[in-house]
Structure 1
Amino acid sequence: MNRIKHTLTAVSTAISLFFAAPLLAQDDYEPMEPRWSFAIHGGAGTIARENMTPEQDAEYRAALQQALDAGSDILKNGGSAMDAVLAAIVLLEDDPKFNAGRGAVFTWEGENELDAALMDGKDRSAGAVTGVKAIKNPILLAREVMKDGRHVFLSGAGAEEFAGERGLETAPPEWFATEARREALERLKARQLSSLDVDTKFGTVGAVALDLDGNMVAGTSTGGLTGKRWGRIGDVPVLGAGTYADNRDCAVSATGQGEYFIRAVVGYSICTGLKHKWRTMLDEAQASVPLDDDGNPTFMVHASEMWLEQSDVQAVADEVMADVKDLGGTGGVIVVSPFGPAVFSFNTPGMYRGRATSAGVNEVAIYGDE
């Protein structure tokens, strides 16, 4: 309530200044200064310092920083959220340390099956692919599905046929395969383990961006779960679950146990939660405006004068991730909103992550206590 009173005071002051200040001063008045915000992730899970050598720690941080810089450099120079998200994810897909593109986990049959999704918050156009095996960068295929516009979600052989028509780069099986991922599959089969026993972290990669034009984009790419069977599809290519963007509310990319993220509709739930919180604050502010003698508001609170703080965005993301935990799922999300800050929320010991904003934030982190 204090924040509402503070905002109302600012609004009242702005209205008074409008009538008292010279016209020239109004030309420089910008109630919502353009800003950009960017966040990436490389998976969440049981990531502990004692299980990482200093060299491994440094390698992951360097990879995250490279992807973060690729996207934030585009945004700070006035580039689009779409270009920033694609630049970061392509780098992460090409890095064998992450479970996306090169370095993807193996299915039960010993193949690498890749999923990706991309969504543009400006018009909610989207592209998603699942079960592709020979596309070097699945996120670029998702982009082509979006650009084509006839469909949103393609799978398997059909998606690869479409990729061929669009001239996308392919790669042989050995490009995607890594010895560490193959060993994980062999251990799962030999010991009759579940995927959660060998996948101590979910190496899905993703990025979300807000650009200076106010547009938001979300993208996510993954190899799924070790030993997945029967054409299993997780949350990543399911719009509204693992990937979602809407300029009115937020952009979200998720990583974790996809079955639970699908059931909780995580991406859409976070955006809807932010919409409700902002709308409630706006309504409360308007209800607090003094009335004139005829019972009418003395002024109207404009939507551009109200904004959510980073703590508000964090609270909504945390609430949705708590719901995932209550269902039995683990993982995390990255979120940007029209209000500026980029936030993370995860219910695991660690999450490979990074964020940068026009306010000067630039950081990468791995463990939960960072």
Structure 2
Amino acid sequence: MKNIILLALIVLFVSCKNHSNSKIEKTEPKQAQFSIVIHGGAGSILKKNMSPEQELLYKAKLEEAIRIGYEILKNGGSSLDAVQKTINILEDSPLFNAGKGAVFTNAETNEHDASIMDGQTLKAGASAGTTIVKNPINLARAIMDHSPHVMLSGKGAETFAQEQGLEIVDPSYFYTEKSYKALQRVKDMQKTAFYNEAIKDSKFGTVGCVALDMEGNLAAGTSTGGMTNKRWGRIGDSPIIGSGTYANNSTCAVSCTGWGEYFIRAVVAHDISTLMEYKGLSLKEAAFEVIQKKVPELGGDGGIIAVDKNGNMTMEFNTPGMFRASMNDKGELYIGLYEN
């Protein structure tokens, strides 16, 4: 009798274990040979505040950027190259809070953060607080490829960039009237009841890209000028692997944008990946759980773009808008600015 009970318990244990494993291994069906998604920041992006001419400018730049990455992937290039070259286009535009269009610090300087991650090897590179590197995402890639480190900051990161032959510019290159005026508005509101709202409205603009290539390799990258009026060498989530950027071939690639302090606390990019890996959630389910529930419960806002190992894409945000675009292997292009 004891043997029969023991055998029954073993069968039950194996059955439960297999059931559990089947849940964890649940994945969405293959959707595309390759995919690419980009963002230009999430925040108070409202149609009533955008002229038709501005809309066209943003849409044109988003399309220009994503087509660069799409062509790389279409021709068999790597997801890392697609991510880097796509972000270069966004960094070179004054429209976004990254590279050329970076916002100003309290000291009226422009300080850049960036990161990139390879989903195949889990190697990553990041830089923080640089002021003279024209394309911070190129520095992040160089750190990943040519240094024993993951993150470099400030003067040390700039010295490394110069040693690597990256393009160096005078800090004045990053000046834009739009960003300078935004700083003055925020400073003017510092002693008013509207200061927190002004800070909240000045955060969007960070750029990012995620991609899946024909070899099945994922990559993610993010680049930003940070937060208007930031002080004391403040660093947000964008250069922090796991918070602002994450890629893992077994799950997904994620790039974040929003209120960095909360994305750091929630380890947003990695959390989406782990929900897929350990709870068996789909990419869309995991992104919704983190962006629509976890981050708002902490008090933060923002959004993410992501692609999984099967080419499924998602663009999840809890703000009035997010500059975003996606393309799949069929060449189908989507561009969005507002919530709907």
Equivalent residue of 1:339, what SS?
Answer: coil
What TM-score do you get using the length of structure 1 for normalisation?
Answer: 0.80
Gaps in structure 1 of 5+ consecutive residues: 1-7, 9-30, 279-307
Q: Residue 100 of structure 2 aligns with which residue?
A: 102
Give, as a single letter, the amino acid of the residue that structure 2 aligns with 1:49.
K
Q: Quick one: distance in 2 between partners of 1:131 and 1:211?
A: 31
Matched, 1:159 2:157: yes
Matched, 1:320 2:318: no
**By how many angstroms is 1:33 displaced?**
8.7
Q: Quick one: distance in 2 between partners of 1:131 and 1:32?
A: 39
Q: How many residues align?
A: 308
> Is the 8 Å Cα contact of residues 188 and 227 (structure 1) preserved in structure 2?
yes
> Is the 8 Å Cα contact of residues 195 and 227 (structure 1) preserved in structure 2?
no
> Is the 8 Å Cα contact of residues 212 and 219 (structure 2) preserved in structure 1?
yes
Matched, 1:144 2:142: yes
Q: Quick one: distance in 2 between partners of 1:195 and 1:172?
A: 32
Q: Quick one: distance in 2 between partners of 1:32 and 1:356?
A: 15
Q: Quick one: distance in 2 between partners of 1:236 and 1:34?
A: 27
Deviations along 1:75-94, one digit per CA (max 9) or x if unpaired, are: 11111101110111000000
Q: Quick one: distance in 2 between partners of 1:196 and 1:40?
A: 26
Give, as a single letter, the amino acid of the residue that structure 2 aligns with 1:70.
I
Give, as a single letter, the amino acid of the residue that structure 2 aligns with 1:208.
V
> Is the 8 Å Cα contact of residues 68 and 356 (structure 1) preserved in structure 2?
yes
Q: Residue 241 of structure 1 aligns with which residue?
A: 243
**By how many angstroms is 1:276 displaced?**
2.4
Matched, 1:79 2:77: yes
Deviations along 1:104-129, one digit per CA (max 9) or x if unpaired, are: 00000000000000000110101000
Deviations along 1:235-286, one digit per CA (max 9) or x if unpaired, are: 00010000011111110000000000000000000001111244xxxxxxxx
Matches within 5 A, 1:239-318: 239-278=241-280, 312-318=282-288
What TM-score do you get using the length of structure 2 for normalisation?
Answer: 0.87
Matched, 1:65 2:43: no
Q: Residue 170 of structure 2 aligns with which residue?
A: 172
Larger Rg: 1
**By how many angstroms is 1:134 displaced?**
0.2
Equivalent residue of 2:180, what SS?
Answer: helix
Equivalent residue of 2:326, what SS?
Answer: strand
**By how many angstroms is 1:73 displaced?**
1.1
Give, as a single letter, the amino acid of the residue that structure 2 aligns with 1:203.
G
**By how many angstroms is 1:64 displaced?**
0.3
Deviations along 1:134-163, one digit per CA (max 9) or x if unpaired, are: 000000000100011311100000000111
Give, as a single letter, the amino acid of the residue that structure 2 aligns with 1:98.
F
**By how many angstroms is 1:361 displaced?**
2.9
Q: Quick one: distance in 2 between partners of 1:114 and 1:75?
A: 27
Deviations along 1:157-198, one digit per CA (max 9) or x if unpaired, are: 000011111011011122101111111111222221646515
Q: Residue 132 of structure 1 aligns with which residue?
A: 130
Q: Quick one: distance in 2 between partners of 1:224 and 1:339?
A: 32
Deviations along 1:175-223, one digit per CA (max 9) or x if unpaired, are: 1011111111112222216465155251000000000100000000000
Matched, 1:333 2:331: no
Equivalent residue of 2:100, what SS?
Answer: coil
Q: Residue 197 of structure 1 aligns with which residue?
A: 198
Q: Quick one: distance in 2 between partners of 1:195 and 1:353?
A: 26
Give, as a single letter, the amino acid of the residue that structure 1 aligns with 2:284.
Q
Q: Quick one: distance in 2 between partners of 1:56 and 1:32?
A: 37
Measured on the aligned residues, the alpha-carbon RMSD in Å equals 1.7
Matches within 5 A, 1:18-97: 35-97=33-95
> Is the 8 Å Cα contact of residues 34 and 214 (structure 1) preserved in structure 2?
no
Q: Quick one: distance in 1 between partners of 2:152 and 2:263?
A: 20
Q: Quick one: distance in 1 between partners of 2:156 and 2:112?
A: 14
After alignment, is 334-343 or 90-99 more displaced?
Answer: 334-343
**Closer, same or farther: CA 209–195 of 1 in aligned 2, 3 Å:** farther
Q: Residue 223 of structure 2 aligns with which residue?
A: 221
**By how many angstroms is 1:315 displaced?**
1.4
Q: Runs ≥4 in structure 1, deviation > 6 angstroms? A: 31-34
Gaps in structure 2 of 5+ consecutive residues: 1-21, 23-28
**Closer, same or farther: CA 34–96 of 1 in aligned 2, 3 Å:** closer
**Closer, same or farther: CA 34–190 of 1 in aligned 2, 3 Å:** closer
Equivalent residue of 2:101, what SS?
Answer: coil
Give, as a single letter, the amino acid of the residue that structure 2 aligns with 1:93.
E
Identical columns (%): 52
